[in-house]
Structure 1
Amino acid sequence: METLFPDGCGLLQQDNAPCHKAEMVQEWFDDHNNQFEVLTPPPNSPDLNPIQNLWDVLDKQVRSMEASPHNLQDLKDLLLTSWCQIPRHTFRDLVQAMPRRVRAVLAEKGGLTQY
């Protein structure tokens, strides 16, 4: 995280996935808590987690590629290549949409939104 946030002012959006609550993961966060702030959304709030949209973008990119992975390393390489090809504006647009997302969730009293 120091590579991405050398001044220690990074934010990491955490979700409520069980693997993120594992003891080993929690210990890592505790050991690195001075490098960034972890944001934990309310339970059952995928509308407030822009990574869900990024998984969709990544999935479409991977499925559109001609080469299929033959092993775990191929899959890892393919995912990394695809991730790096996501345009920067996609990330920026998702972050900038957060105020609209929050307003939509509040308007629906926590119910589902278009996001």
Structure 2
Amino acid sequence: WTMQQWSTVLVHHMVWPAMSPDLNPIEHVWDQLKQRLDDRTPPPCDLAELCVALVEEWNALPQNNIMRLVRSMRRRCQDVIALIWTFILKLLCT
């Protein structure tokens, strides 16, 4: 089916890229890590310094942020399942 055909049965396309952080909470962690590395003064100037800085910043990430992301996975999966069921019901009822 094309997007136009789906829209005729009232199924709306939701932009949800394959690499979306919605189902990949580690992407949020990578963002935090990148921000922490960007904030370092002076910034790492070679690969060895970058490796050391990366380990230091990884170890310094607040565990409560990580746990919050882990705990959010159930809700994230439920949201996706709800979307799938909404899609199936719309498809069957039209």
In terms of fraction of residues, the more helix-rich structure is 2
Q: Where does structure 2 lack aligned partners over 5 or more consecutive residues?
A: 1-17, 85-94
* Greater RCO (Cα-Cα under 8 Å, separation 6 or more): 2
Q: Give the percent of matched residue pairs that are identical in Structure 1 and Structure 2.
A: 32
Unaligned runs of 5+ in 1: 1-43, 110-115
What TM-score results when the alignment is normalised by the length of structure 1? 0.52
How far apart are residue 45 of structure 1 and its match?
A: 5.4
The number of equivalent residue pairs is: 67
**Residue 26 of structure 2 aligns with which residue?**
51
**TM-score in terms of structure 2 length:** 0.63
1:100 is matched with 75
Give the alignment partner of residue 76 of structure 1, picking from 26, 51, 57: 51
The root-mean-square deviation of aligned C-alpha atoms, in Å, is 1.8
**Equivalent in the alignment of 1:86:** 61
Whichever residue aligns with residue 70 of structure 1, its letter is C
CA shift for structure 1 position 100 = 1.1
Q: Following TM superposition, by how much is the alpha carbon of 1:106 offset from its aligned partner in structure 2, in angstroms?
A: 2.4
Q: Which structure's residues are more often strand, by fraction? A: 1
